[in-house]
């Protein structure tokens, strides 16, 4: 079935290619903004180190998915994207921009962060500067903890190049001499088992500082000769290979998605190679040998001045007890309407309740399900799970509810990228407890965030629902900004129930009264809302749109915004990551401004505001403005009906971000970003404002 939104959108002309920016280059620009925070002296030092690691983590996934996809398209001479740039040019520009970003990242590490950390007694000890005491400790640690689990592999006709796991740490060894069997092998490979920590803490008495660390690579470099007795090691070079990690599961051609996914996960570690990282001292001969081995080109080679995997440094801020070098702690508050779990259902009956994470706690959402599990008046619970993590109180509550005889239905999205294994495990446990587990709809990821409880009250059934912009993941709700709405409004509850029935059953979808839904109504209704603003502007009634999201790349939505701008609608877009729209193009997008806010917390909510001739329509959604969210996912977008809640969304979710002059970046027509500075104005940080307004100053015990 072709979603109606595709059909209706076809009436709107696509933007001219020159009016669109490239998605991949936009992603690299987003990471440059994160790297800027790693350089910002006003950010606490250990938090700057975290930002540096986040860039590496983002780039890993970028290569595993986006660059891998580009390489696949190049194999088959795929067509240009909406921006009209040939794929060869995209790949070349992506490579150039990424090399520049990685070089800048290691400069920040070596020239800014490591010296600053050293002055604070947090040191990464280089093997060339070890004292005798440190050298003795390192040798003993190597022999006791590392040597027993290493397997050196000499490369010769009987020992081919070993299979290299995705993103694993490896060492290419150059040798001279003959071994015990008279073999004259010149190269070998040593793979570092993933069980070994990449960063090792030294005792303070050995390190000579409060917090001393050494890299696993340094220990192996210093003692690699012990793996090749009687031979001379002439070179030891760490390297890492990144592979295509996009799962290739043909959902339409399989009988059991769960079994097929379990099988495919075992192959993820050995997908096609897309990137080779080596230490900067790697010899030209060894680098060329590795490139040939992995069938990669020079542009796929990244020489780095330091560890090949900076993500491993993410643990260091957690190990170092220096509150003065981290963001101040805070305690997530509870909404006034829900002072305790006993008041939860009564509060929702009185009026809709809004949660704003991470400033307000996710605990009421967990209590919503846990209380339902224990309440004898609750008959049924329905829940979507996209990302929940490996340790989830909410899913444990669902398991408890099923064990207590409630009718529990859980839609588990098995294809949630990089959470597939955790979701498979949760699905198995839920089924064992007696819950109905559904894996969504073939060909459409279930990305909607919905929870529903059916309760008997005064002889009648009443539904309560929670609809959110973010995942049901307790850990990420502590550093992602998101909204969650509790309501028992009959039409919204009926719509949520209908969406669950669509996913779990069969048949045509019934019209929804309040919710907008992908892949059916969300896209055409958003375009209609944009066009209504244009009509209001043409009629002299003013037109205003403010939209906040993670990404904006869908061409017909962009064209609708361009046409609205030309009609006189003022448009503010708060897009954290990739934005393909060009603001400020004369005669095209003069009235559109684009900003990105990158700060302490990851901005994650999707909020859409339309002035709508003073009706002030406010929508909360799980969907970004991307083709996949509109046409290949099941998403929901809920209107905020309660006047007080609507004011809160505007006051907390949009207005502060339009005022921000410390963490906001303004985009120009070429896709370049300039960070806003207070100048002579009073500094205003949106996230700090919300912490001051909603949270409490000390972290909960």
Going through 15-147 in order, the beta strands assigned E by DSSP cover 122-124
Confidence class of residue 255 from pLDDT cuts 50, 70 and 90?
very low
Instruction: For 362, list phi and psi in degrees, rounded to 5.
Output: -85, -10
Q: Cα 143–145–150 angle (5° rounding)?
A: 80
Whether 571 has a pLDDT exceeding 60, the answer reads yes
Q: Cα 614–619–625 angle (5° rounding)?
A: 120
Look over the chain and give the mean of its residue pLDDT values, rounded to a whole number.
91
Residues 332-347 pLDDT 10s: 999 988 877 777 899 9
Average pLDDT over residues 287-311: 95
Average pLDDT over residues 503-525: 90
In terms of CATH architecture, what is 341-512? Answer: 2-Layer Sandwich (3.30)
Whether 430 has a pLDDT exceeding 50, the answer reads yes
Q: What does the alpha-carbon distance between residue 381 and residue 539 come to, in Å, rounded to a whole number?
A: 48
Whether 270 has a pLDDT exceeding 70, the answer reads no
Q: What does the alpha-carbon distance between residue 571 and residue 510 come to, in Å, rounded to a whole number?
A: 33
State residue 520's pLDDT score.
95
**Which of 211, 267, 261, 242 shows the shortest CA–CA distance to 56?**
242
Confidence class of residue 8 from pLDDT cuts 50, 70 and 90?
very low
State residue 343's pLDDT score.
78
Report percent pLDDT > 70 for the chain: 92
CATH 3.60.110.10 for the 120-325 domain, yes or no = no
Give Cβ neighbours of residue 84 (< 8 Å, ≥ 6 apart): 17, 18, 20
Q: Cα 393–398–403 angle (5° rounding)?
A: 120
Q: What does the alpha-carbon distance between residue 579 and residue 598 come to, in Å, rounded to a whole number?
A: 14
Residue 276's region, left for phi above 0, alpha for psi from -120 to 50, else beta, is: beta
Q: Where are the alpha helices (DSSP H) in 375-459?
A: 393-403, 420-433
State residue 260's pLDDT score.
58
Residues 218-253 pLDDT 10s: 999 999 999 988 888 999 999 999 999 876 555 554
What number does CATH give the domain 4-15+517-694?
3.30.870.10
Going through 251-370 in order, the beta strands assigned E by DSSP cover 273-279, 301-304, 353-357
State residue 1's pLDDT score.
29
Q: What does the alpha-carbon distance between residue 219 and residue 196 come to, in Å, rounded to a whole number?
A: 12
Q: Cα 284–285–288 angle (5° rounding)?
A: 85
Joined together, the tokens standing for residue 92 give: 């070349």
Instruction: For 56, list phi and psi in degrees, rounded to 5.
Output: -65, -45
**Which of 689, 662, 684 shows the shortest CA–CA distance to 599?**
662
How many other C-beta atoms lie within 10 A of the C-beta of residue 201? 15
Residues 321-332 pLDDT 10s: 999 999 999 999
- 447 counts as catalytic: yes
Q: What does the alpha-carbon distance between residue 346 and residue 378 come to, in Å, rounded to a whole number?
A: 14
Q: Please tell me which residue in 447, 466, 473, 604 is annotated as part of the active site.
A: 447
Whether 269 has a pLDDT exceeding 80, the answer reads no
Interior/surface letters 123-157, b for 16+ CB within 10 angstroms, e for the rest: bbbebeebeeebeebbeebbeeebeeebeebbbee
Q: What is the DSSP letter of 579?
A: B
How many other C-beta atoms lie within 10 A of the C-beta of residue 158? 7
Contact 698, 329 (CB under 8 A): yes
Would you state the torsion angle of the CA atoms of residues 597, 603, 607, 609, taken in this order, to the nearest 10 degrees? -10
**Which of 367, 319, 356, 279 shows the shortest CA–CA distance to 49?**
319
State residue 266's pLDDT score.
57
Confidence class of residue 657 from pLDDT cuts 50, 70 and 90?
very high
Judged by DSSP in three states, 293 sits in: helix
Joined together, the tokens standing for residue 167 give: 């993103």
State residue 231's pLDDT score.
86
Instruction: For 155, list phi and psi in degrees, rounded to 5.
Output: -95, 115
Of 512 and 413, which is predicted with more confidence? 512
Residues 598-641 pLDDT 10s: 999 999 999 999 999 999 999 999 999 999 999 999 999 999 99
């Amino acid at each position: 079935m072709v979603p109606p939104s595709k059909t209706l959108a076809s009436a709107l002309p696509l933007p001219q290619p020159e009016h669109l920016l490239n998605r991949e280059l936009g992603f690299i620009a987003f990471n440059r903004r994160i790297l800027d925070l790693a350089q910002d002296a006003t950010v606490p030092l250990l938090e700057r180190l975290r930002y540096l690691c986040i860039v590496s983590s983002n780039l890993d996934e970028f290569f595993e998915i986006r660059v891998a996809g580009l390489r696949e398209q190049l194999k088959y001479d795929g067509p240009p994207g909406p921006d009209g740039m040939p794929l060869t040019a995209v790949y070349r520009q992506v490579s150039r921009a990424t090399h520049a970003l990685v070089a800048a990242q290691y400069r920040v590490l070596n020239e800014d962060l490591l010296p600053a950390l050293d002055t604070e007694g947090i040191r990464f000890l280089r093997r060339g500067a070890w004292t005798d005491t440190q050298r003795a400790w390192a040798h003993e640690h190597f022999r006791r903890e590392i040597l027993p689990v290493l397997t050196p592999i000499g490369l010769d006709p009987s020992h081919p190049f070993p299979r290299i796991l995705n993103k694993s740490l490896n060492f290419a060894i150059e040798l001279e001499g003959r071994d015990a069997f008279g073999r004259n092998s010149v190269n070998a490979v040593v793979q570092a088992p993933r069980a070994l920590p990449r960063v090792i803490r030294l005792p303070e008495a050995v390190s000579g500082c409060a917090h001393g660390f050494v890299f696993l690579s340094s220990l192996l470099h210093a003692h690699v000769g012990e793996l090749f007795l009687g031979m001379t090691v002439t070179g030891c070079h760490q390297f890492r290979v990144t592979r295509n990690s996009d799962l290739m599961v043909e959902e339409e051609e399989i009988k059991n998605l769960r079994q097929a996914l379990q099988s495919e996960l075992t192959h993820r570690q050995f997908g096609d190679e897309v990137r080779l990282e080596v230490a900067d001292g790697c010899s030209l001969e060894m680098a060329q040998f590795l490139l040939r081995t992995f069938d990669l080109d020079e542009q796929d080679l990244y020489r780095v001045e330091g560890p090949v995997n900076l993500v491993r440094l993410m643990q260091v801020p957690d190990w170092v007890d220096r509150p003065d070098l981290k963001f101040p702690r805070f305690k997530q508050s509870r909404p006034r309407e829900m002072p305790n779990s006993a008041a939860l259902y009564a509060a929702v009956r009185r009026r809709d309740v809004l949660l704003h994470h991470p400033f307000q706690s996710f605990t009421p959402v967990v209590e919503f399900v846990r209380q339902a599990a224990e309440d004898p008046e609750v008959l049924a619970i329905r829940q979507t799970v996209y990302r929940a993590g490996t340790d989830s109180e909410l899913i444990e509550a669902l398991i408890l509810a099923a064990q207590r005889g409630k009718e529990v239905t859980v839609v588990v999205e098995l294809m949630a990228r990089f959470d597939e294994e955790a979701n498979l495990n949760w699905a198995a446990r839920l089924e064992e407890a007696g819950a109905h587990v559904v894996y969504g709809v073939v060909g459409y990821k279930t990305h909607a965030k919905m929870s529903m409880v059916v309760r008997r009250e005064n002889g009648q059934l009443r539904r309560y629902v929670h609809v959110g912009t973010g995942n049901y993941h307790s850990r990420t709700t502590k550093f992602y900004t998101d909204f969650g709405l509790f309501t028992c409004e009959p039409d919204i509850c009926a719509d949520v129930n209908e969406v669950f029935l669509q996913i779990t059953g069969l048949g045509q979808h019934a019209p929804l009264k309040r919710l907008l839904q992908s892949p059916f109504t969300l896209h055409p209704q958003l375009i209609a809302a944009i066009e209504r603003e244009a009509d209001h502007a043409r009629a002299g009634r003013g037109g205003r749109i403010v939209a906040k999201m993670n990404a904006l790349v869908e061409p017909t939505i962009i064209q609708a915004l361009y046409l609205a701008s030309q009609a006189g609608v003022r448009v503010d877009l708060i897009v954290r990551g990739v934005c393909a729209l060009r603001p400020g193009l004369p005669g095209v997008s003069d009235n559109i401004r684009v900003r990105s806010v990158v700060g302490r917390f990851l901005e994650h909510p999707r909020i859409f505001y339309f002035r709508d001739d003073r009706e002030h329509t406010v929508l909360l959604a799980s969907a970004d403005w991307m083709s996949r969210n509109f046409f290949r996912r099941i998403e929901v977008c809920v209107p905020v009906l309660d006047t007080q809640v609507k004011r809160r969304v505007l006051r907390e979710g949009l207005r502060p971000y339009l005022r921000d002059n410390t963490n906001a970046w303004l985009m120009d027509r070429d896709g370049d970003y300039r960070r806003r500075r207070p100048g002579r104005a009073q500094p205003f940080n949106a996230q700090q404002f919300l912490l001051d307004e909603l949270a409490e100053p000390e972290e909960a015990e």
